[in-house]
Chains A and B, each alone.
Chain A
């Protein structure tokens, strides 16, 4: 089955700890994205990547880091600098990035991060 997988489903972070959220896709999509969703709010873009070994900051990148060493994988690290990390984290992918109005983003199942 093609799709986007995220792990773990739930993640607990201690104060001062860095944690990494996994996102893998086998859809052969070029672009990948990380969003954060807080209760009652829309999705906010953290980072995105158009191609391997390249990524750009989104609207709320502070306290987060990413890498894109493989087309299939786009892990997100929540660093200790992110003071309010409790949220639902969603990874998405799309087949192309620019110039195509009909390009659609598809989402993984999400990771819920909680602070101990």
Chain B
């Protein structure tokens, strides 16, 4: 069974600090990696995608991918109370497009 693992949290982060979220995956042939943000009671919304080793930055978000170590991470800089949500890691292997989701990490940004 292909697995995607995340620390469930909650991860408590002071306002203005950096939140660091990690995700590990078991399928070595995985090619595409996504981070979704999900507010309580709402549907997931895509915030980042990454396909190559290294860092990808988009505003306050940075995704980091290391295929050799089979992990992908998400950094949220200058964390704001509006960043309080559950962050889902999703991984696609070499198949048609099926995504495997982690259970999510809950982030709580405290003023």
Contact = CB atoms under 8 A, between A and B. Distances in A.
A35 B100 CA distance: 11
B42 A102 contact: no
A6 to B, nearest CB: 8
Given A40-B103, A42-B104, A97-B97, A90 B44 contact: yes
Nearest to A103: B97
Given A43-B88, A98-B97, A104 B103 contact: no
Contact of B51 (A44, A58, A90, A102): A102
Nearest to B31: A101
Interface string B3-42: 0100010000000000000000000000110101000001
A8 B43 CA distance: 14
A75 interface: no
Given A42-B88, A42-B104, A101 B42 contact: no
Interface residues of A, number: 27
A45 interface: yes
Given A41-B103, A42-B4, A104-B34, A50 B96 contact: yes
Nearest to A109: B43
Interface residues of B, number: 26
Given A41-B103, A42-B102, A110 B43 contact: yes
Contacts of B4: 42
A55 B42 CA distance: 26
A47 B31 CA distance: 22
B68 to A, nearest CB: 18
A43 B101 contact: yes
Contacts of A58: 98
A41 B86 CA distance: 11
A31 B95 CA distance: 14
Given A42-B88, A42-B102, A105-B97, 7 more contacts: A43-B101, A45-B99, A94-B97, A98-B96, A98-B97, A101-B51, A102-B51
Complex A-B, nearest 4 residue pairs according to Cβ-Cβ distance, in ascending order? A42-B101, A98-B96, A107-B43, A43-B101
